[in-house]
């Protein structure tokens, strides 16, 4: 592959179009995972733009993802929220999955907060826990699915970005401090997130393997966006909501279901919203 599938000028055209629709100059972007679009309820003076109106934006096809950008102010910070992300399993090429990240960068975004619904592998985790991500395991990346494959665009970043500091340690501490202030420490965890391609959930053997590798939670998103954000020099914070327990025993009657994911997300939404608002305030 000799060139990027989307050119710098095409990203810039989309960014310029969005900036022309609003006077907002967002500095923080927030990606809302399955069932977590209620995070935008905390925004003041909102401006909503459906994905289908945005040049070159893909469309989300997953239940629990509304499909719109929401601009507004949160904790005195100018933000843009994605209500609905794009997934590799929907059939989007990886440059489309991550398309908004470069657009946000060209709009002036400096920090990215990613949230997701994830299955818990750590035996100490409970359904409804919040896990701040300290590191990740990029299984699709091992198989060659990486948004940086192809000719490198030097205007975006270096050919070989460092990923040992993918998740900002200061932001991680902001989450833990905020959880203590809000009385959330009983259900606040930190751990390693693994992305699998999906859309099928993990087999028992796959779950056991991931746990042996040190993975605490597993999901089907987030990592490509984080890789691209770090390539762009953005600071990144990741938070997983543990919406189900990954099945680790063959005689278990439990089965992973998307409806359970959405239900747990709805039940814990208010706590996650409060946590994100408090952390954004500390980002000033």
What CATH number is attached to the domain comprising 90? 3.40.50.1580
Structure tokens at 128: 């409804």
The answer to whether residue 29 is domain-embedded is: yes
Distance CA 54, CA 13 (A): 10
Determine whether 34 is an active site residue: yes
Q: Which of 206, 248, 258, 281 is catalytic?
A: 258
Residue 2 inside a domain? The answer is no
Q: Given 4, 15, 65, 138, which residue is catalytic?
A: 65
Q: Is the pLDDT of residue 1 over 70?
A: no
174 belongs to the catalytic site: no
261's CB contacts (< 8 A; 6+ apart) are 34, 35, 64, 117, 243, 244
* Tally of domains within the chain: 1
For residue 86, being part of any structural domain is answered with yes
Residue 42: the pLDDT is: 77
- Position 41 scores a pLDDT of 80
118 domain residue, yes or no: yes
Residue predicted with more confidence, 262 or 183: 183
Is residue 183 in a domain? yes
pLDDT above 90 (res 161): yes
- pLDDT recorded at residue 260: 63
pLDDT value, residue 265: 67
The residue segments making up the domain with residue 171 are: 8-282
Known catalytic membership, residue 136: no
Q: Would you say residue 64 has pLDDT above 70?
A: no
Q: Which residue of the set 4, 60, 87, 195 is catalytic?
A: 87
Instruction: Establish whether 1 is a catalytic residue.
Output: no
Task: Indicate the range of 34-43, 67-76, 164-173, 225-234 predicted with least confidence.
Answer: 34-43
Residue 162: strand, helix, or coil: coil
**DSSP H or E run through 10:** helix 8-21
Q: Dig out the tokens for 148 from the structure.
A: 């940086």
- From the candidates 4, 31, 60, 90, give the one annotated as an active-site residue: 90
Residue 117 is among the residues annotated as catalytic for this protein: yes
Query: Is residue 1 in a domain?
Result: no
What confidence tier does 131 reach under pLDDT thresholds 50, 70, 90? Answer: very high
Q: Is 220 a catalytic residue?
A: yes
Out of 10, 66, 89, 110, the active site residue is: 89
Give me the residues paired with residue 229 across strands: none
Q: How far apart are CA 146 and CA 95, in angstroms?
A: 9
| 233 within 8 A of 106, measured Cβ to Cβ | no
What band does 261 get if pLDDT is binned at 50, 70 and 90?
low
Set 4, 29, 31, 34: catalytic member: 34
- Does the residue 131 lie in any domain? yes
Beta-carbon neighbour count of residue 171 at 10 Å? 20
Query: How confident is the prediction for the chain on average, in pLDDT?
Result: 89
CB-CB contact of 132 with 172 (8 Å): yes
**Looking at residue 59, what is its pLDDT?**
77
Active site residue 65: yes
Residue 244 annotated among the catalytic residues of the structure: yes
Annotated catalytic residue within 244, 246, 265, 271:
244
From 82, 107, 117, 217, active-site residue: 117
- Antiparallel, parallel or unpaired: β 44-50 and 28-32: unpaired
């Amino acid at each position: 592959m000799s060139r990027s599938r989307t050119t710098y000028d095409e990203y810039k055209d989309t960014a310029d179009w969005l900036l022309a629709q609003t006077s907002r100059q967002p500095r923080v972007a927030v990606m809302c995972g399955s069932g977590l679009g209620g995070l935008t309820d905390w925004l003041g003076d909102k401006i909503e733009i459906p994905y289908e109106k945005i040049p070159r934006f893909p469309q989300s096809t997953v239940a629990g993802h509304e499909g719109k950008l929401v601009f507004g102010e949160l904790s005195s910070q100018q933000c843009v929220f994605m209500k609905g992300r794009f997934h590799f399993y929907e059939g989007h090429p990886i440059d489309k999955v991550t398309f908004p990240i470069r657009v946000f960068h060209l709009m002036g975004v400096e920090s990215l907060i990613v949230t997701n619904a994830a299955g818990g592998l750590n035996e100490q985790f409970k359904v409804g826990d919040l896990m701040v991500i300290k590191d990740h395991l990029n299984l699709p990346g091992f198989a060659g699915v990486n948004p940086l494959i192809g000719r490198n665009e030097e205007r975006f970043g270096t050919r070989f970005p460092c990923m040992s500091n993918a998740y900002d340690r200061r932001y991680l501490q902001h989450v833990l401090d905020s959880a203590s202030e809000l009385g959330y420490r009983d259900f606040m965890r930190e751990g390693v997130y693994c992305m699998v391609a999906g859309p099928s959930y993990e087999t028992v053997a796959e779950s056991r393997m991931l746990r042996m590798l040190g993975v605490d939670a597993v999901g089907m998103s987030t990592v490509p966006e984080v890789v691209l954000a770090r390539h762009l020099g953005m600071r990144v914070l990741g938070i997983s909501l543990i919406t189900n327990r990954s099945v680790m025993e063959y005689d278990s009657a439990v089965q992973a279901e998307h409806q359970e994911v959405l239900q747990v997300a709805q039940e814990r939404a208010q706590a996650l919203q409060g946590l994100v608002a408090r952390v954004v305030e500390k980002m000033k």
